[in-house]
Amino acid sequence: MITITEAVRSIVLDDDIAHQAIYDGLLNLSAYAEKISSKVEERAHKKVQKGTVVVALTRISEEINNLSSLRPRVVLDDLIIKMPLCDITFSKTELTRSKLASLYSGIEISENAFFMSTQGMSEITIIAPESLIDNILMHFENKPIVIYKNRAGITVRFAKEYLGVPNILYTLQAALAVHRINFTEIVSTYTEFSFVIDKADLEVATQALQKFQA
């Protein structure tokens, strides 16, 4: 059996909005205590008073205030947009793996093109300019699982000093998530994150990410 404070802490850690609101000093502890009291009882396996939950939240607030923000400040060095893109996924087989290995020599790819490939446990995905879709399909000689067209790629670049800062990707994703923007893919390299989205969402997504530029 866990304590009431432990139960409340686990609920707050599962609620990133409340966690950030506590950090910013914006959460009404009394109202939040009333909201989560039933969950606390479920996790603690006993009846609890609202005041007891408020006391626990007060203790947890002190803990959170000694931590860094869930959404650290980040300044982007650059923001690059490429479109239209296609997003093609194949089953990962011996054939598709061999075709992936020869892909870069099998088709002509511009040096500045948005072109990425990823291998999962059972799938291979190619993200490329839409103009290359026929060449890619011909090269693989295999029916893909799915093809998405009319994609846009947004690549953000940042200083290497951010690599040791937790939640940088979360901060950028959250800026898009509040606008209900769906990601087809997220790809990262050393100092870059690339978001692949529907071209219809490009304007809103660009405005959301531009806030992080100096």
Segments of the chain with pLDDT less than 70:
none
- Say if residue 45 is in the same domain as residue 99: no
The answer for residues whose C-beta is within 8 angstroms of residue 44's C-beta and 6 or more apart is 1, 2, 3, 4, 6, 7
Please report, for residues 15, 28, 105, 111, the alpha-carbon distance to residue 100 in angstroms, rounded to integers and kept in the order given: 41, 54, 10, 18
As beta bridge partners, residue 81 has 154
Q: What is the pLDDT of residue 37?
A: 93
Last residue of a domain, one of 65, 89, 104: 65
- Say what the pLDDT of residue 82 is: 95
Number of domains in the chain: 2
Task: Specify if 72 maps to a domain.
Answer: no
Q: Where are the alpha helices (DSSP H) in 45-108?
A: 50-65, 94-101, 103-106
Answer yes or no: do 93 and 35 share one domain: no
Q: How far is 196 from 187, CA to CA, in rounded Å?
A: 8
Predicted confidence at residue 136, as pLDDT, reads: 94
CB 48 within 8 A of CB 37: yes
Q: Are residues 126 and 28 in the same domain?
A: no
Q: Domain range holding 18?
A: 4-65
pLDDT at 23: 86
Whether 70 is covered by a domain: the verdict is no
Same domain, 123 and 172: yes
Among 65, 89, 113, identify where a domain stops. 65
Does a structural domain hold residue 31?
Answer: yes
